[in-house]
């Protein structure tokens, strides 16, 4: 059954797989690594343009390592999960400076790099160096769970062991890179999360989930994310032709990105200028400021939390004493600074966006 599965998968890939992506067939480990890091928790449709921009800006890993951090984060802006970008920068620097620009060529060394887990290490090892390591991304896990009718949660310790052993047993050891790409593509275009193409599936004859009518129930996840809400109020404090910003440095969302003056609360504030003026007095101390604009409520859904907040444009004659830790940046230079999507979404909707960006 396992040998038949692999044989049919390779035949489907050879005869019917038309999925095209710029990194398919790529042998440069740097480009493979870059594409895999970008595509973690990112749709291919969204990640494609980022990949192309990164390759254009940084053709080699030495180019990436030599780039200013702010420029790299600016290119990453909008992708989310900014720890990936932070690790990307750290690993590029390590390979460029400590490894003389040579990407590691064995699985364990690749796995030891910052920001690279078992799946990404297996992808790089098999695609770039044709080493027999099986990938187990979401597409692969879904295919295996359905075909073999496995109810073990894919995110449990026991489940991970089952799937890893099975994935390796199915791997075409002579063509591991080709097989890995085939089964990932198969999960993306045939065995899809919603509305899988079961009638067109070359594996349908032996698919246990199809036979038992449990396709919609698999794969199973054990852990449910507990989501919380956060209320962020951003004061866009303008002093003449400049605005106050700062870099987020705490171990929190959007680390290393920039933001305006922040006031965070535990709940949504009552609407109106009265409440805002009280907060402004607290944030700005005794500095006189005038309110120029108050935005509607904005929302952004992250994986584990909902961000809710507003943007309040203020005008000041000088930098308030309490905000000396913020950087005063010319409006015309803000385009060089990476901001989280929550902030850029607001700026892009304002008439001032043309001036700021």
- Active-site annotation holds for 315: no
Beta bridge partners of 230: 307
Nearest-CA neighbor of 172 among 10, 19, 11? 10
**Rounded to the nearest 5°, which phi and psi values hold at 227?**
-95, 145
Give the pLDDT band of residue 282 (cuts 50, 70, 90): confident
Nearest-CA neighbor of 12 among 216, 184, 213? 184
Identify each DSSP E strand in the chain by its residue range. Answer: 228-239, 242-247, 258-259, 261-265, 289-294, 298-301, 305-316, 327-330
Q: Dig out the tokens for 146 from the structure.
A: 């359905």
| Domain map (residue ranges) of the chain | 2-217, 228-356
**Rounded to the nearest 5°, which phi and psi values hold at 223?**
-95, 135
Instruction: Report the run of H or E that residue 254 belongs to, with start and end.
Output: none
What average pLDDT does this structure show over 219-237? Answer: 88
The percent of residues in the chain predicted with pLDDT above 90, rounded, is 72
Nearest-CA neighbor of 212 among 148, 140, 155, 154? 148
Range of weakest confidence among 4-13, 18-27, 58-67, 98-107: 18-27
CATH assignment, 228-356:
3.90.79.10
Which has more pLDDT, 277 or 234?
A: 234
pLDDT of residue 353: 46
Q: Dig out the tokens for 129 from the structure.
A: 């160096």
Q: Spell 164-179 as b/e; 16+ CB within 10 A means b.
A: eebbeebbbeebbbbb
Q: How far is CA 45 from the centre of its chain?
A: 13
The CATH superfamily assigned to 2-217 is Hypothetical protein; domain 2 (1.10.340.30)
Report the alpha-carbon distance of residue 22 to residue 262 in Å, rounded.
40
Q: How far is CA 341 from the centre of its chain?
A: 12
pLDDT 10s digits, 252-272: 899 999 999 999 988 877 766
Indicate the pTM of the whole model: 0.84
Cα-Cα-Cα-Cα dihedral sign, residues 180, 82, 72, 349: positive
Report the alpha-carbon distance of residue 49 to residue 52 in Å, rounded.
5
Report the alpha-carbon distance of residue 118 to residue 23 in Å, rounded.
20
What average pLDDT does this structure show over 63-85? Answer: 94
User: CA distances (Å), 305 to each of 221, 298, 300, in order?
Assistant: 19, 14, 9
What average pLDDT does this structure show over 280-303? Answer: 83
pLDDT of residue 119: 94
Report the alpha-carbon distance of residue 282 to residue 239 in Å, rounded.
19
Marked catalytic residue, from 26, 36, 222, 264: 36
């Amino acid at each position: 059954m396992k040998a038949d599965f692999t044989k049919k998968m390779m035949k489907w890939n050879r005869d019917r797989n038309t999925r095209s992506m710029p990194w398919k067939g790529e042998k440069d480990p740097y480009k493979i690594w870059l594409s895999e890091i970008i595509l973690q928790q990112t749709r291919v449709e969204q990640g494609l343009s980022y990949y192309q921009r990164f390759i254009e800006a940084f053709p080699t890993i030495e180019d990436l390592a030599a780039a200013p951090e702010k420029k790299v984060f600016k290119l990453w802006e909008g992708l989310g999960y900014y720890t990936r970008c932070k690790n990307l920068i750290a690993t590029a620097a390590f390979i460029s400076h400590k490894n003389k620009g040579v990407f590691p060529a064995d699985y364990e060394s690749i796995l030891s790099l910052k920001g690279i887990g078992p799946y990404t290490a297996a992808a790089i090892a098999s695609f770039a160096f044709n080493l027999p390591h099986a990938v187990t991304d979401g597409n692969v896990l879904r295919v295996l769970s359905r075909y073999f009718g496995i109810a073990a949660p894919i995110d449990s310790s026991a489940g991970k062991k089952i799937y890893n052993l099975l994935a390796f047993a199915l791997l075409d050891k002579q063509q591991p890179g080709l097989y890995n790409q085939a089964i990932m593509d198969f999960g993306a275009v045939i065995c899809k999360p919603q509305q899988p193409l079961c009638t067109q599936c070359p594996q349908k004859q032996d698919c246990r989930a199809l036979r038992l009518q449990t396709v919609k129930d698999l794969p199973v996840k054990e852990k449910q994310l507990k989501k919380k809400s956060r209320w962020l109020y951003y004061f866009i404090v303008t002093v003449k032709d400049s605005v106050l910003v700062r870099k987020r440095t705490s171990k929190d969302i959007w680390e290393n990105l920039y933001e305006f003056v922040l006031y965070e609360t535990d709940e949504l504030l009552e609407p109106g200028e009265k409440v805002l003026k009280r907060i402004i007095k607290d944030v700005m101390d005794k500095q006189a400021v005038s309110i120029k604009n108050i935005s509607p409520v904005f929302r952004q859904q992250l994986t584990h939390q909902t961000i809710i907040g507003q943007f309040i444009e203020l005008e000041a004659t000088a930098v308030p004493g309490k905000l000396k830790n913020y950087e005063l940046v010319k409006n015309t230079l803000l385009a060089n600074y990476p901001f989280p999507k929550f902030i850029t979404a607001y700026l892009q909707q304002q008439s001032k966006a043309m001036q700021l960006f």
